[in-house]
Structure 1
Amino acid sequence: MKERIIGRVKRVNGPILIVKDIKDAMMMEMVRIGEQQLVGEVVKLYDGLATVQVYEDATGICPGDNVYGSGMSLSVELAPGLIGTIYDGIQRPLEQLMAASGAFISRGLTFDAVDHQKRWTFTPSLEVGAAVTAGQILGTVQETSRIEHRVLVPVTIASAVIVEIAVQGEYTVEDVIATVVLPNGHQQQICMLQRWPIRIPRPVDKRLALKQPLITGLRVIDTLFPLAKGGTVAIPGGFGTGKTMTQHSIAQWCDADLIVYIGCGERGNEMTDVLKEFPLLIDPRTGHSLMERTILIANTSNMPVSAREASIYTGITMAEYYRDQGYHVAIMADSTSRWAEALRELSGRMEEMPAEEGFPAYLPTRIAQFYERAGFMQTLSGSKGSVSIIGAVSPPGGDFSEPVTQHTKRFVRCFWGLDRQLASSRHYPAISWLESYSEYLGDVKQWWNDHSDGTWYLSRQKIMDLLQKEVRLQQIVKLVGPDALPDTQNFILEVCSLFKTAFLQQNAFDDVDRFCSVEKQVKMLSVILAYYEKGLEAITKGVPMVKIRRLKAVQEMVRMRLTVKGDELENIDRLQLRLERSIDQIGGIYEN
């Protein structure tokens, strides 16, 4: 259906159009271009002209084509049925697009983001006569086996009284489930389907302090550089360092209720692997497919560059919608560098003044606006939910000094820098313990100490101090060799090497090692520190370091990440007792 004509195409410059004879147009209004009804958005208005960016292939558009206005901003549909669906950058379901046009998407195709004909079992939570406010829960729908979809009062309704509400039964997303009367006496009907502009954050009651960590099951993250629920983190790394695999592992094993994975400008073969593998992955908490708590957005590098720019806003708007229902959502953006490159291309075509390395001057603002939408919130309904953003950055040549990485570091509080040397030596996750950091340590300290008998923070500080000492000692070793160091210092190198192998390294394909519980992480760290303290004590008594290294308990400690299952943690306690006893026995011999 064609809307009103707001102008005609004057000039075509790739995905950027100059439209003349503008009348009755709005900034950020969604428009349709030409007879093929291509989707676009007004991004600039001036002197009777408008600049429109097209979200599809603009081939074939010519001067004189009509531009049709919709009267609304580029928005997403929010309703039951989002979970488990694969969308493109502007929320068109890719499976339906493929069914209609094959492997190559035809231009001008439009489908509803959710099935408007499917019937959902709605259970009301309120009764007639109840006063409601924006964001309040009207009723529930069981969307998947894990996610209960909570139908909310639209945020445009500040206050109202229910005069009619649907009984429990099956309804489509367009059926009226409630009728409310507003303070001015007007009635308004509410259905399960809502729309929201992607560039406007959804409102909340208030932002809460970040106190609870997002548990990922990766030891180097949870123990050394934790991320709080509602926090933001950047994962920069060159090609082949494991950004995508790290995000996949987090998506499968983290304790978020919902995952939104945004493939933003990645290569088509990588996204194909994601789309094939995610439905086959099993959610360890339910035993069902991981897609039952996942929304995928696929916008590959050969898709229109404008849709790539919109894709991260599409993803985070859907994440905010589920946050408003009281869920904890984790967003995987892979990668924000490709998104920034889309900004650069669009800015260049609009003939804007370039800044550093050709990126637009407003790049830092756009990055900040995106990460600012994360947070742990008290929703309008009074529940608590969060959006955590895990953004991959792909600096050219692995250069962390380039603009996207540097600006991103300004706006995130956690940084997991991937190291090419670690990746080359098959040390995964290849997260550098020297370049990475987390500013959430103080926020999650209390939670971790509550789950580790108060030992976690102090133990983490001890091991980080050892890793820093190791760096300085390695510099000496490179100059004069390890034989020049006393055993007390060589033992630090030995313990750090063991820590990297037995703790930081993790095998995503091993049934035992691919996920490590909080309790197991605490016990493993305790054993390694006990080995250091007891071993150092023995060395000061004259015990040769080689005697300690050859102990059977030390070999068991190296393998404990692979041999001790999550429900057999008492084996680590017994291992620590055997280790301490063995070292004490050797120390006693040399002392006597």
Structure 2
Amino acid sequence: MSENVIYSINGPVVMVRGTKDFSMQEMVYVGEDRLIGEVISMNEEKTTIQVYENTTGLSPREPVYTTGAPICATLGPGMLAGIFDGIERPLKAIEEQSGAFIAAGADVPSLDPAHKWEVTLQVKPGDTLEGGMVFATCPETELILHKSMVPPGEGGTVLSVVPNGSYTVEDVLVTYEDRKGEKKELKLAQRWPIRTARPVLERLASSVPLITGQRIVDTMFPIAKGGTAAIPGGFGTGKTMTQHQLAKWCDADIIVYIGCGERGNEMTQVLEEFGELIDPKSGQPLTARTVLIANTSNMPVAAREASIYTGVTIAEYYRDMGYHVAIMADSTSRWAEALREISGRLEEMPAEEGFPAYLPSRISQFYERAGYMQNQNGTYGSVSIIGAVSPQGADFSEPVTQNTKRFVRCFWALDKTLAYSRHYPSINWNTSYSEYVEDLEKWYKDNVGPKFLKYRQEITNILTEENHLMEIVKLIGEDVLPDDQRLTLELARVVRVGFLQQNAFHADDTYVPLKKQMLMMRCILHLYHKAGALVQMNVPLSSILESGLCDKLIKMKYDIPNDRYDLFDQYYKEIDDALARIGG
């Protein structure tokens, strides 16, 4: 126990005179209620502690207890299908203990210590252990096999192993002698500092897409497995719903959803929807491969800052098992606001708009923990990070959006005009971009079709040309444009409404395979080129539009099921026959 006592309290920040017994980033217990805190600053005169719980009722001269260790996440079976707060306290267990509100100093184990898992041991006496090596497995859910690993940096020779059977996370499974000759034990769970990235063998290039089934993402602005993306948008533009859709349908093995500072009703919606949704790949509830971290806006601001690191640490742990993990962080703006508040309490010199000067480095530290990795045990896994950003008034020039833009390679800018016109996903194709297209070129050619990116480029050109033409239309009207430019505007409408707009409530449109996405582009471009040839032959555009082909292509996404690609041939024939009649 430390002899240090509190002398100053400023919201979530507590001051202690001197530095005796303390070390940087050490976890401490503050006050008689033993509130969880972390040492964030030290000098010759005082130690500053960031408290992760409500400090109401805390008073000077209360003691501070040291632990000698940093804030760690407990990693083991039982995290999937669970819901935790920002410092990995299980909210369901806390509710059973203290009701709907978290009591001060609530000390509940992150993983249920009484639950028994059916464990299969993978090592035997005499085996050599290395960091990252799998020594035991157990079915965590019906979808995910949990692989308990030797903590990084440790290893030695196995002395004894328990037989296969039912064990808790606290039972000793393996006893080994480390390289220093000391006897150590391995359990199902391990602890890891949340602010330290778990080591890997090698960081690999991003060459495989994270397939989401959303056309504007997969085709126009793809993200790679192990990639980073930002979803900036003002209030009501659909950031949370876009992340929900990506979490439901992306081909990651595990989803870590971090509700960082958003409203409580949004996390409630996540819980209800994910509990009801069936995973299309397995037929099991989606929660069986989801970890939820709920740190809503009414929870302590300091815990909001920690929730990001807790989530990415859990993601890295499953990545080390060889799984592909996708993180949905909603929203990093609320996390940055927590940094700003704590910085203000510390009386640090503010930078732009009051945010701390170290905001860019904190954002980069978070996003750089993404990547496609070869793990220490030889397996391959990835952590993809998709972070929502909530700029006030949809002003993308504010610091959080601009600094996030520096460190992500995929930028899905949400547009309030599209959102208010019920065009979802409301990703603006003129201001969004992806730097992964060239990295994924070979994968698309080998797995979808050699012309996939060619079609994508042509679709992009149509939308770009429409953007230029609309500036003329706003000035002098559409009637003065020649027929070839009016045809471009009409086909751009088909692309926008028939291809980029997607209906999350339609069985065949909520998720669209890449093969169908390519065939839809091909069909639209087939009409564009054929109709363009007729326009060049002075056939009136009005007669082409009266054929109803454009409206038919807009409804194509509903009329062609995801498993009936043969129906596209009928569309090509109808287009050819109709245009042949028009052309005489």
Contact 1:259 1:295 in 2 (8 A): yes
AA matched with 1:241: T
Alpha-carbon distance between aligned partners in 1 of 2:270 and 2:180, rounded to the nearest angstrom? 51
Task: Report the secondary structure of 1:483's partner residue.
Answer: coil
Match 2:156 to one of 160, 172, 188: 160
- Residue in structure 1 matched with residue 417 of structure 2 by the alignment: 421
Task: Report the secondary structure of 2:334's partner residue.
Answer: helix
1:453–1:277: structure 2 CA closer, same or farther, 3 Å change rule?
closer
Task: Report the secondary structure of 1:388's partner residue.
Answer: strand
Asked if residue 52 in structure 1 is aligned to residue 49 in structure 2, the reply is yes
Contact 1:534 1:584 in 2 (8 A): no
AA matched with 2:96: A
AA matched with 1:352: E
What pairs with 1:439-588 in structure 2 (closer than 5 Å)? 439-587=435-583
What pairs with 1:106-255 in structure 2 (closer than 5 Å)? 106-157=103-154, 159-255=155-251
- Residue in structure 2 matched with residue 385 of structure 1 by the alignment: 381
Match 1:325 to one of 321, 334, 337: 321
Alpha-carbon distance between aligned partners in 2 of 1:479 and 1:555, rounded to the nearest angstrom? 27
User: 1:48, CA displacement in angstroms?
Assistant: 4.0
Q: Which runs of 5+ in 2 are unaligned?
A: none
Give the total of aligned pairs. 584
Q: Which stretch of structure 1 is more off in the superposition, 159-168 or 230-239?
A: 159-168
CA RMSD of aligned residues (A): 1.2
Match 2:82 to one of 48, 65, 85: 85
Match 2:372 to one of 376, 381, 384: 376
* Per-residue Cα deviation, 1:311-338 (whole angstroms, up to 9, x for no partner): 0000000000000000000000000000
AA matched with 1:196: W
Match 2:400 to one of 387, 393, 404: 404
- Residue in structure 2 matched with residue 16 of structure 1 by the alignment: 13
Contact 1:6 1:25 in 2 (8 A): no
- Residue in structure 2 matched with residue 43 of structure 1 by the alignment: 40
TM-score under structure 2 normalisation?
0.98
Alpha-carbon distance between aligned partners in 2 of 1:583 and 1:126, rounded to the nearest angstrom? 70
Task: Report the secondary structure of 2:465's partner residue.
Answer: helix
Contact 1:482 1:490 in 2 (8 A): yes
Task: Report the secondary structure of 2:166's partner residue.
Answer: strand
User: 1:562, CA displacement in angstroms?
Assistant: 1.2
AA matched with 2:242: T
AA matched with 2:60: P
Task: Report the secondary structure of 2:151's partner residue.
Answer: coil
Q: Which stretch of structure 1 is more off in the superposition, 124-133 or 285-294?
A: 124-133
Alpha-carbon distance between aligned partners in 1 of 2:243 and 2:108, rounded to the nearest angstrom? 29
Task: Report the secondary structure of 2:206's partner residue.
Answer: coil
User: 1:346, CA displacement in angstroms?
Assistant: 0.1
User: 1:40, CA displacement in angstroms?
Assistant: 0.6
TM-score under structure 1 normalisation?
0.97
Task: Report the secondary structure of 2:93's partner residue.
Answer: helix
AA matched with 1:133: E
User: 1:573, CA displacement in angstroms?
Assistant: 2.8
Task: Report the secondary structure of 2:538's partner residue.
Answer: coil
User: 1:580, CA displacement in angstroms?
Assistant: 2.6
Q: Which stretch of structure 1 is more off in the superposition, 468-477 or 173-182?
A: 173-182
Alpha-carbon distance between aligned partners in 2 of 1:534 and 1:30, rounded to the nearest angstrom? 68
Alpha-carbon distance between aligned partners in 1 of 2:432 and 2:576, rounded to the nearest angstrom? 32
Alpha-carbon distance between aligned partners in 2 of 1:320 and 1:139, rounded to the nearest angstrom? 18
User: 1:553, CA displacement in angstroms?
Assistant: 4.4
Alpha-carbon distance between aligned partners in 1 of 2:29 and 2:569, rounded to the nearest angstrom? 66
Alpha-carbon distance between aligned partners in 2 of 1:110 and 1:341, rounded to the nearest angstrom? 27
Q: Which runs of 5+ in 1 are unaligned?
A: none
User: 1:446, CA displacement in angstroms?
Assistant: 1.1
